[in-house]
């Protein structure tokens, strides 16, 4: 609850962008980045009794144009090739399954959907519950369970539109990929 213009309390509207298709990314039963992580988020929202207080939206797949703001075409082509082969090991700890590329495109598009909804006044804040994660993916390399840099795709879109962008990454691990994407870009402040 937060004050409105008259000083009276009002309920804050929270947008959640998520989708069951994120469960199609299956790097392996014993892999740390598994579908159960997202299922736990959904379960937590439900058990907290928040379902009715949330505005839910489905993501859209990020277009090539969106992804190319952060990743060269060679990186995207390599991921498409692994996907066409039915998945496989991308690096020592990053795995693609048959549904991973579609899930990664949805994850990268989720932030774009959230921003559009916020700009349209549909909610006050947004939370994107997505997978695979993205902050370790550098412009030209998938790593750390991350295929493309979801957050960077959204931030680059905002920066291109002239918005001021600040990213505060509070993950236990440094967001090396996001740092690499914006290291020389004065339009985006990145703190990790």
Whole-prediction pTM: 0.92
Q: Is the pLDDT assigned to residue 152 strictly greater than 70?
A: yes
CA gap 141, 93 in Å, rounded: 13
With a CB cutoff of 8 Å and minimum separation 6, the contacts of 53 are: 11, 14
Show the DSSP H helices in 85-132 as ranges: 100-119
Nearest to 108 by CA among 71, 47, 154: 154
| Mean pLDDT over each residue of the chain, to the nearest integer | 94
Is the distance from CB of 147 to CB of 101 less than 8 angstroms? yes
Catalytic residue ranges: 136
The strand pairing partners of 128, in sequence order, are 17
Does 153 score more than 90 pLDDT?
A: yes
Beta strands, E only, 34-184: 54-57, 88-91, 94-96, 125-128, 165-168
- Would you say residue 1 has pLDDT above 80? no
* Separation of alpha carbons 167 and 182, rounded Å: 10
For position 192, what pLDDT does the model report? 93
Q: Which CATH number fits domain 12-163: 3.30.70.60, 3.30.70.260, 3.40.800.20, 3.30.565.10?
A: 3.40.800.20
d(CA 120, CA 192): 29
Over the stretch 99-112, which tens digit does the pLDDT of each residue have?
Answer: 999 999 999 999 99
Whole-number Cα distances in Å, 60 to 116, 139, 162, 189: 12, 21, 23, 26
54-96 per-position pLDDT tens digit: 999 999 999 999 999 999 999 999 999 999 999 999 999 999 9
Four-CA torsion 1, 113, 18, 144, nearest 10 degrees: -110
């Amino acid at each position: 609850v937060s004050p409105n213009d008259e000083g009276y309390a009002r309920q804050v509207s929270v947008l959640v962008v998520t989708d069951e298709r994120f469960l199609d990314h299956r790097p392996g039963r014993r892999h740390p980045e598994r579908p159960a992580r997202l299922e736990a988020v959904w379960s937590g929202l439900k058990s907290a009794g928040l379902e009715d207080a949330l505005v839910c939206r489905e993501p859209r797949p990020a277009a090539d144009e969106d992804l190319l703001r952060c990743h060269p075409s060679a990186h995207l082509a390599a991921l498409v090739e692994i996907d066409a082969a039915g998945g496989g090991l991308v690096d020592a700890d990053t795995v693609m399954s048959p549904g991973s590329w579609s899930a990664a495109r949805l994850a990268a598009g989720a932030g774009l959907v959230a921003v559009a909804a916020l700009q349209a006044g549909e909610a006050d804040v947004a939370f994107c519950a997505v997978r695979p994660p993205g902050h370790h993916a550098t412009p030209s390399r998938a790593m750390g369970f991350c295929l493309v840099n979801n957050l960077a795709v959204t931030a680059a879109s905002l920066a291109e539109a002239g918005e001021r962008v600040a990213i505060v990454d509070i993950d236990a691990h440094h967001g090396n990929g996001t740092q690499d994407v914006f290291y020389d870009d004065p339009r985006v402040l990145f703190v990790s």
